[in-house]
Amino acid sequence: MKISMVLTLAALMAFAMPGSATTVAVEAKVVRTLVADQERFGGCMAKLDKPLASLGLDCPGAWVSFSCTGTFTPKDTAYRMFDSAQMAFALEKPVMVQVDDTRKHNGNCYAQRIDVLR
Protein backbone atom coordinates (compact mmCIF):
# COMPACT_ATOMS: atom_id res chain seq x y z
CA MET A 1 0.00 0.00 0.00
CA LYS A 2 2.78 2.44 0.88
CA ILE A 3 4.62 1.76 -2.38
CA SER A 4 1.52 2.49 -4.45
CA MET A 5 0.99 5.75 -2.55
CA VAL A 6 4.60 6.82 -3.17
CA LEU A 7 4.30 5.96 -6.87
CA THR A 8 1.03 7.88 -7.13
CA LEU A 9 2.56 10.95 -5.48
CA ALA A 10 5.62 10.75 -7.73
CA ALA A 11 3.41 10.55 -10.82
CA LEU A 12 1.34 13.54 -9.68
CA MET A 13 4.48 15.59 -9.06
CA ALA A 14 5.84 14.72 -12.51
CA PHE A 15 2.63 15.88 -14.21
CA ALA A 16 2.53 19.07 -12.13
CA MET A 17 5.96 20.23 -13.36
CA PRO A 18 5.88 22.89 -16.08
CA GLY A 19 6.75 21.78 -19.59
CA SER A 20 8.75 24.85 -20.54
CA ALA A 21 10.54 27.67 -18.85
CA THR A 22 9.27 31.19 -19.25
CA THR A 23 12.21 33.33 -18.16
CA VAL A 24 15.67 32.30 -17.02
CA ALA A 25 18.62 34.38 -15.86
CA VAL A 26 21.63 33.35 -17.94
CA GLU A 27 25.20 34.21 -16.99
CA ALA A 28 27.33 34.19 -20.13
CA LYS A 29 29.73 36.09 -22.34
CA VAL A 30 28.68 37.92 -25.50
CA VAL A 31 30.57 36.39 -28.42
CA ARG A 32 28.93 38.25 -31.31
CA THR A 33 26.52 41.11 -32.01
CA LEU A 34 24.20 41.67 -34.95
CA VAL A 35 22.27 44.64 -36.34
CA ALA A 36 19.65 43.75 -38.96
CA ASP A 37 16.92 45.52 -40.87
CA GLN A 38 13.74 46.14 -38.93
CA GLU A 39 11.99 43.11 -40.43
CA ARG A 40 14.39 40.50 -39.06
CA PHE A 41 15.48 39.41 -35.60
CA GLY A 42 13.92 42.43 -33.89
CA GLY A 43 16.62 44.67 -35.37
CA CYS A 44 19.47 43.78 -32.99
CA MET A 45 20.78 40.66 -31.30
CA ALA A 46 23.64 39.24 -29.26
CA LYS A 47 25.03 35.72 -29.34
CA LEU A 48 25.90 34.23 -25.96
CA ASP A 49 28.52 31.57 -25.31
CA LYS A 50 25.88 29.09 -24.09
CA PRO A 51 23.14 27.26 -26.00
CA LEU A 52 19.91 28.44 -24.39
CA ALA A 53 18.07 25.14 -24.83
CA SER A 54 20.59 23.50 -22.49
CA LEU A 55 19.27 25.81 -19.75
CA GLY A 56 15.68 24.65 -20.18
CA LEU A 57 14.59 27.45 -22.51
CA ASP A 58 12.60 26.93 -25.71
CA CYS A 59 15.18 28.84 -27.78
CA PRO A 60 16.85 27.47 -30.93
CA GLY A 61 20.44 28.57 -30.33
CA ALA A 62 22.53 31.06 -28.38
CA TRP A 63 21.17 34.28 -29.92
CA VAL A 64 18.90 36.68 -28.02
CA SER A 65 17.01 39.64 -29.44
CA PHE A 66 16.69 42.97 -27.62
CA SER A 67 13.68 43.93 -29.77
CA CYS A 68 15.16 47.14 -31.18
CA THR A 69 12.04 47.32 -33.38
CA GLY A 70 10.07 48.25 -30.27
CA THR A 71 7.84 45.17 -30.41
CA PHE A 72 8.43 44.02 -26.82
CA THR A 73 9.96 47.12 -25.20
CA PRO A 74 10.40 50.79 -26.13
CA LYS A 75 13.07 51.24 -28.80
CA ASP A 76 15.26 53.47 -26.61
CA THR A 77 15.32 50.82 -23.87
CA ALA A 78 16.12 48.09 -26.40
CA TYR A 79 19.02 50.08 -27.84
CA ARG A 80 20.41 50.73 -24.34
CA MET A 81 20.34 47.00 -23.65
CA PHE A 82 22.04 46.36 -27.00
CA ASP A 83 24.64 49.03 -26.14
CA SER A 84 25.35 47.14 -22.90
CA ALA A 85 25.80 43.91 -24.87
CA GLN A 86 28.23 45.64 -27.24
CA MET A 87 30.17 47.09 -24.31
CA ALA A 88 30.40 43.67 -22.64
CA PHE A 89 31.55 42.17 -25.95
CA ALA A 90 34.23 44.83 -26.49
CA LEU A 91 35.50 44.62 -22.90
CA GLU A 92 35.15 40.82 -22.70
CA LYS A 93 32.99 41.12 -19.57
CA PRO A 94 30.37 38.55 -18.54
CA VAL A 95 26.68 39.45 -18.57
CA MET A 96 23.55 38.29 -16.79
CA VAL A 97 20.69 38.18 -19.30
CA GLN A 98 17.05 37.57 -18.39
CA VAL A 99 15.77 35.52 -21.35
CA ASP A 100 12.05 35.12 -22.08
CA ASP A 101 11.21 32.16 -24.30
CA THR A 102 7.56 33.14 -24.74
CA ARG A 103 8.42 36.24 -26.81
CA LYS A 104 10.49 35.73 -29.96
CA HIS A 105 11.72 37.42 -33.12
CA ASN A 106 12.15 34.98 -36.02
CA GLY A 107 12.29 32.15 -33.47
CA ASN A 108 15.00 33.77 -31.34
CA CYS A 109 14.15 34.49 -27.71
CA TYR A 110 13.80 37.98 -26.28
CA ALA A 111 16.24 39.33 -23.66
CA GLN A 112 14.21 41.50 -21.30
CA ARG A 113 17.17 42.56 -19.18
CA ILE A 114 20.97 42.60 -19.35
CA ASP A 115 23.45 43.32 -16.56
CA VAL A 116 27.15 43.73 -17.31
CA LEU A 117 29.21 41.99 -14.62
CA ARG A 118 32.80 42.36 -13.46
pLDDT digits (tens, 9 = 90+) for 22-81: 899 999 999 999 999 878 999 999 999 999 999 999 999 999 999 999 999 999 999 999
Question: How far is 106 from 69, CA to CA, in rounded Å?
Answer: 13
Mean pLDDT of 107-113: 97
In a domain, 10, yes or no: no
What's the predicted TM-score (pTM) here?
Answer: 0.81
Q: pLDDT of 91-102, one tens digit each?
A: 999 999 999 999
Q: At residue 5, does pLDDT exceed 90? A: no
In a domain, 60, yes or no: yes
Neighbours of 96 (CB within 10 A): 13
Q: Supply the CATH number for residue 50's domain.
A: 2.40.50
Q: Determine phi and psi for 6, rounding to 5 degrees.
A: -65, -45
Mean pLDDT of 5-19: 52
Q: Considering only CA atoms, which of 96, 78, 110 is closest in space to residue 30?
A: 96
Domain that holds residue 72: 21-116
Number of domains in the chain: 1
Q: At residue 86, does pLDDT exceed 90? A: yes
Q: At residue 19, does pLDDT exceed 90? A: no
In a domain, 112, yes or no: yes
In a domain, 69, yes or no: yes
In a domain, 83, yes or no: yes
In a domain, 39, yes or no: yes
**pLDDT of the residue at 97:** 98
Question: How far is 64 from 82, CA to CA, in rounded Å?
Answer: 10
Write out the DSSP string of the chain: -HHHHHHHHHHHHHHHS-SS-SEEEEEEEEEEEEE--TTSGGGEEEEESS-GGGGT---SSSEEE--TTSSSS-HHHHHHHHHHHHHHHHHT-EEEEEEEEEEEETTEEEEEEEEE--
In a domain, 66, yes or no: yes
Q: At residue 13, does pLDDT exceed 60? A: no
